[in-house]
Amino acid sequence: MEFETNINNKIVTVKLEKKRGLKNCYIRIVNNKMIQIRANNYFDIFDAKELIARKASWIEKHLNSFSKQPLNSDEFYYLGVKHKNLDNRDLDKFYAFEAKKIIPPILQECSQLMQLFPTSIKYRKNKRTWGSCNFKNGLNFNTLLVKFPLEVIEYVVIHELAHIKYKNHSKDFWNLVYKYCSDYKKREETLKSFL
């Protein structure tokens, strides 16, 4: 379901996706003209409008950050820095190669520090998640993570390692994340707002 809303005199499209079993509501800035809301089947358009009203200042801030730094068709992000794609490289292949080079040392260091060790590690380009941990404690990382600054990649690694101990987002889980990444909220905000 899609509808339009006005945020500080700017018309923005809101894409509402409903999924059975979702306990929480998720809001994401897709670009400077679209917001995505993911919620359970009982969440309706009125709930979406109320959520947007409550988060208006946060949404406006991140819409503005998108407006200030639009990517041209020949540009890409790598470790938080904008680059020109001068050699017209295949970015999916580039990100996949770099992810397998950059993430393992961070993962090894954090695993030793936290004393939490994955049973397997996989890399793939995902549309919805930056990382995941399955019930066998295998970790999966999105190859597009290398678009972000290193501290954001480190946060995602710590987040997924914490899921080896806690398969939920309980208070104990967040306390564990905080122990090894005290500014995780700031890093998470970068993750949500980055182009």
| Number of domains forming the structure of the chain | 2
pLDDT at 128 (0 to 100): 80
pLDDT at 108 (0 to 100): 96
- Answer yes or no: do 156 and 113 share one domain: yes
- Answer yes or no: do 96 and 168 share one domain: yes
Per residue in 10-24, pLDDT (tens digit) is 788 888 888 887 777
- Answer yes or no: do 61 and 93 share one domain: no
Q: Where is the domain boundary, 17, 45, 68?
A: 68
- Answer yes or no: do 62 and 89 share one domain: no
* Number of Cβ within a 10 Å radius of residue 61: 13
pLDDT at 60 (0 to 100): 81
Separation between Cα atoms, residue 184 and residue 117, nearest integer Å: 20
pLDDT value at 36 more than 50: yes
Phi first, then psi, for residue 116 (nearest 5°) are -130, 125
pLDDT at 195 (0 to 100): 46
pLDDT at 133 (0 to 100): 94
Q: In angstroms, what CA-CA distances link 21 with 15, 141, 145, 168, 171?
A: 19, 23, 27, 14, 20
Q: Where is the domain boundary, 68, 86, 107?
A: 68
- Answer yes or no: do 21 and 95 share one domain: no
The CA-CA-CA angle for residues 162, 190, 83, to 5°, reads: 120
- Answer yes or no: do 50 and 93 share one domain: no
- Answer yes or no: do 53 and 9 share one domain: yes
- Answer yes or no: do 99 and 27 share one domain: no
Extended beta strands in the chain, E state: 2-7, 10-18, 26-31, 34-39, 75-78, 81-84, 120-124, 131-133, 138-142
- Answer yes or no: do 87 and 165 share one domain: yes
- Answer yes or no: do 101 and 163 share one domain: yes
- Answer yes or no: do 184 and 112 share one domain: yes
Confidence of residue 66 (pLDDT cuts 50, 70, 90): low
Stretch 130-143: mean pLDDT? 95
Range of the domain at 42: 2-68
Q: Where is the domain boundary, 14, 35, 68?
A: 68
Per residue in 143-180, pLDDT (tens digit) is 999 999 899 999 999 999 999 999 999 999 999 999 99
Amino acid at 54: R
